[in-house]
């Protein structure tokens, strides 16, 4: 195991962080999920999972399955803080660390002195001592084996698979456990009697290519043989940033949609500036009441990092669809084609003042850092309830039976007395 891959997977991460903050809930089923009739489960303790609750499930169904559970809203800032602590530990132990999510990371052990099992035990003990969290760890000769070994070790376990043991380890596993085998692919494989990795490994590659297509068939054949040549990548540049919002009830009001797009554009632009990135392409995502989803994109003449520019492109894409009161469930804004904004000279558009929107939005960033997200926002979003987290702009409901029109004017939201009606524009 001198050249091995190690995967650290934090157990029931979001729920475990909540238990760390609320020790009185230990021993009770806990579910973390978004509030509202369309909220989904982000994480659940193993007590709740025993009742059939799992991530991605509607919160309403989770309540019916486990009415005795404690349901908590997510706190993304707390989860990011816990994740940062774990990732700093891992980076201190290995030169090549590839985080794949807040609660998962691969380590390349090539050149790392010592015994991989000893290192895994040290990581689990340190995570428990420093973060009061449990981690399951898998070790194998590849990412595939390390991932499946960590899954087999859950919860709070350790599993190492040597190269000579890979075939015996993989063959009994369900085919659905392999990367890229989703629900539909698993159903298709099942119709042909292919239920386990052994079934796939014993199927000729040509047969899998006919069933799934050349690329998918080849990949599945390699994985079933235990072949996975993906390296651990220490740094992966973010290819896109974005935010989405699901409405509590379907909306067919185009003005409500455009106000939501403004909020989403603001959240996305703030993340771009924080990462010192700019976007060449803006993508609009719309999901209708029947879950049909469409996307439309527009490439801009110059990379942008301002909410004003993102919203202008997203709103133009929305208007160009001519939806005619279509019932919309979800909208999203995504910035793509990212480039570094560090040192990039910004050329004002013809007729534009030298000091304008860029200074306004940078001022908004500074105020938000000091007073919290939502302290300053466009005037048309005053009735939005800010959540304090990028990507969750609040519901785009109307006030007093009227929907405010989208505006580029920024206002200071009341932070002391919620009944205050006066606003000062920035």
Same domain, 60 and 187: no
Same domain, 256 and 379: yes
Number of domains in the chain: 3
Return the number of other C-beta atoms located less than 10 Å from residue 169's C-beta. 18
Q: How far apart are CA 239 and CA 339, in angstroms?
A: 9
The CA distances from residue 12 to 2, 37, 318, 400, in Å, are 30, 23, 38, 42
Tokens of 298: 């527009």
Residue-level pLDDT at 339: 87
Q: The domain that contains 175 carries what CATH number? A: 1.10.150.20
Which residues lie across from 294 on neighbouring strands? 286
Q: Which pLDDT score, from 0 to 100, does residue 324 have?
A: 79
CA 366 vs CA 105, 285, 363, 372: distances in Å:
32, 29, 5, 10
Retrieve residue 52's tokens: 């059939």
Domain that holds residue 207: 171-224
Give the pLDDT confidence score for residue 370 in this predicted structure: 54
CATH number, domain of 393, equals 3.30.1490.100
Residues 399 and 287 in one domain: yes
Residues annotated as catalytic are: 104
Measured in residues, the chain has a length of 426
Render pLDDT for 256-286 as a digit per residue (tens, 0 to 9).
999 999 999 999 998 888 888 899 999 999 9
Q: Are 186 and 335 in a shared domain?
A: no
Which of 55, 76, 97 is at the close of a domain? 76
- Regarding whether 337 and 398 lie in a shared domain, the answer is yes
Are 185 and 247 found together in one domain?
Answer: no
Does residue 202 lie within any of the structural domains? yes
- CA–CA distance, 274 with 14 (Å, rounded to integer): 24
Are residues 247 and 367 located together in one domain of the fold?
yes
Which residues have a Cβ under 8 Å from the Cβ of 235 and sit 6 or more positions away?
Answer: none
Same domain, residue pair 251 and 213: no
Burial readout 233-252 (b: 16 or more C-beta within 10 A, e: otherwise)? eeeeeeeebbbbbbbeeebe
Residue 408 and residue 367 share a domain: yes
Distance of alpha carbon 215 from the chain centroid:
26
Cβ contact 52:46 at 8 Å: no
Query: What pLDDT score was predicted for residue 35?
Result: 74
Kindly tell me the burial class for residue 405, based on how many C-beta atoms sit within 10 Å of its own C-beta (0-12, 13-18, 19 or more): exposed
Cβ-based neighbours of 82, under 8 Å, separated by 6 or more: 13, 17, 20, 131, 133
In a domain, 220, yes or no: yes
Residue 420: what pLDDT? Answer: 33
CATH number of the domain within which 72 lies: 3.40.1170.60
**159 in a domain, yes or no?**
no
pLDDT (tens, 9 = 90+) of the chain, 426 residues, equals 556 999 999 999 999 999 999 999 999 999 999 877 778 899 999 999 999 999 989 999 999 999 999 999 998 889 989 999 999 999 999 999 999 989 999 999 988 888 999 999 999 999 999 999 999 999 999 999 999 999 999 999 999 999 999 999 999 999 999 988 988 899 999 999 999 999 999 999 999 999 999 999 999 999 999 999 999 998 766 678 899 998 989 999 999 999 999 999 999 998 888 888 899 999 999 999 888 899 999 999 999 999 999 999 999 999 999 887 889 999 999 999 988 876 554 444 444 444 455 555 566 655 555 555 555 556 555 554 433 333 333 333 222 222 333 333 333 333 333 333 333 333
pLDDT of residue 412: 34
One domain, residues 254 and 361: yes
Q: What is the pLDDT of residue 273?
A: 87
- Domain assignment present for residue 46? The answer is yes
Q: Per the domain annotation, does 139 fall within a domain?
A: no
User: Are 203 and 303 contained in the same domain?
Assistant: no
- Number of CB atoms found within 10 A of residue 59's CB: 21
């Amino acid at each position: 195991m001198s050249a091995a891959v190690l995967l650290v997977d934090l157990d029931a991460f979001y729920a475990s962080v909540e238990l760390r903050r609320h020790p009185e809930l230990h021993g009770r089923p806990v579910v973390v999920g978004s509030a509202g009739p369309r909220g989904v489960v982000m994480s659940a303790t193993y007590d709740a999972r025993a009742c059939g609750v799992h991530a991605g499930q509607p919160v309403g169904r989770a309540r019916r399955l486990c009415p005795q559970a404690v349901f908590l809203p997510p706190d993304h800032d707390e989860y990011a803080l816990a994740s940062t602590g774990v990732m700093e530990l891992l980076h201190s132990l290995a030169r090549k660390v590839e985080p794949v999510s807040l609660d998962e990371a691969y380590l390349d052990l090539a050149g790392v002195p010592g015994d991989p099992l000893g290192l895994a035990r040290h990581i689990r003990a340190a995570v428990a001592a420093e973060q009061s969290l449990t981690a399951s760890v898998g070790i194998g000769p590849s990412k595939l084996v390390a991932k499946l070994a960590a899954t087999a070790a859950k919860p709070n376990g350790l599993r190492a698979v040597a190269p000579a043991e890979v075939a015996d380890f993989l063959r009994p596993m369900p085919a659905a456990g392999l990367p890229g085998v989703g629900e539909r692919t698993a159903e298709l494989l099942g119709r042909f009697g292919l239920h386990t990795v052994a079934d796939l490994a014993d199927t000729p590659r040509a047969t899998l290519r006919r069933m799934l297509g050349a690329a998918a068939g080849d990949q599945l054949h390699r994985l079933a043989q235990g072949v996975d040549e993906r390296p651990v990548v220490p740094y992966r540049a973010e290819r896109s940033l974005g935010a989405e919002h699901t409405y509590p009830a379907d909306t067919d009001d185009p003005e409500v949609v455009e106000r939501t797009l403004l909020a989403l554009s603001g959240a996305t632009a703030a993340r771009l500036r924080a990462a010192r990135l700019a976007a060449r392409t803006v993508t609009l995502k719309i999901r209708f009441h029947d879950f049909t989803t469409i996307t439309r994109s527009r490439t801009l003449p110059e990379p942008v990092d301002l909410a004003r520019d993102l919203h202008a492109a997203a709103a133009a894409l929305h208007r160009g669809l001519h939806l005619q009161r279509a019932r919309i469930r979800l909208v999203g804004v995504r910035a793509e084609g990212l480039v570094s904004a560090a040192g990039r000279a910004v050329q004002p558009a013809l007729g534009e003042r030298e000091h304008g929107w860029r200074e306004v939005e940078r001022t908004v960033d500074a105020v938000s850092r000091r007073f919290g997200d939502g302290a300053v926002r466009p005037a048309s979003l005053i009735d939005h309830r800010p959540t304090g987290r990028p990507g969750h702009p609040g519901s785009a409901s109307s006030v007093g039976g009227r929907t405010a029109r989208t505006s580029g004017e920024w206002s200071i939201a009341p932070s002391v007395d919620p009944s205050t009606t006066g606003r000062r524009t920035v």
